């Protein structure tokens, strides 16, 4: 157990975790029927990609990957604000959040 305790983690495990998180986000994007939950799946995909950026930054001893993650976070915050405002606007026009019944771009 002590040898297991001090064994180092291979970085490919982090990359595998990020790939699995991205795939779970894609699956959620496909199967979820609520507009807000579909939006959350997109955030999950962004987080999976961020993890692989940080892993590569760690592997190659550079901060460029972390700066990428910083900008992704900024853009994700702006995207969440605008997207949720659009969701509120759509709900006000349609009174539903089911993606099956939101099939027109016209409000």
Partner 1 sequence: MHLILFIVFAGFCLAGAINLLLQTHPVNSALSLIVVMTSLAVLYLLLGAEFLAAAQVIVYAGAIMVLFTFVVMLLNAGREERTRGSRAARAVGFPAVVVILAVVATVILYAHGLGSATLGEGLTNVKGSTNIEELSGVLFTKLLLPFEVTSVLILIAILGAVSLARPGNGEPEGSVASEGGTDSQGGADPEGSAERTGGK
Q: What is the largest CA-CA distance in the chain?
A: 62
Closest distance between partner 1 and the C-beta of residue 2, in Å? Answer: 11
Number of residues that bind partner 1 (CB under 8 A): 80
| 4: contact with partner 1 by CB under 8 A | yes
| 105: contact with partner 1 by CB under 8 A | no
CB hemisphere CA count around 77 (13 angstroms): 5
Contact 16, 25 (CB under 8 A): no
| 42: contact with partner 1 by CB under 8 A | no
Contact 47, 73 (CB under 8 A): no
Binding-residue pattern over the window 61 to 100 for partner 1, x denoting contact by CB under 8 A: x-xx-xx-xxx-xxxxxxxxxx-xxxxxx-xxxxx-xx-x
Tokens linked to 69: 């993650």
Closest distance between partner 1 and the C-beta of residue 9, in Å? Answer: 4
Distance, CA of 80 to CA of 47 (rounded, Å) = 13
Closest distance between partner 1 and the C-beta of residue 53, in Å? Answer: 9
Closest distance between partner 1 and the C-beta of residue 27, in Å? Answer: 6
Distance, CA of 80 to CA of 107 (rounded, Å) = 20
| 49: contact with partner 1 by CB under 8 A | no
């Amino acid at each position: 157990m002590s040898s297991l305790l001090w064994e180092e983690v291979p970085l490919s495990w982090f990359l595998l975790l990020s790939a699995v998180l991205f795939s779970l986000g894609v699956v959620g994007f496909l199967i979820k029927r609520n507009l807000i939950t579909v939006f959350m799946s997109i955030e999950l995909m962004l987080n999976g990609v961020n993890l692989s950026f940080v892993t590569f930054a760690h592997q190659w001893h550079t901060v460029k990957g972390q700066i990428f993650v910083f900008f992704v976070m900024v853009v994700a915050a702006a995207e969440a604000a605008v997207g949720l405002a659009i969701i509120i606007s759509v709900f006000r026009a349609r009174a539903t959040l089911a993606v099956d019944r939101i099939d027109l771009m016209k409000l």
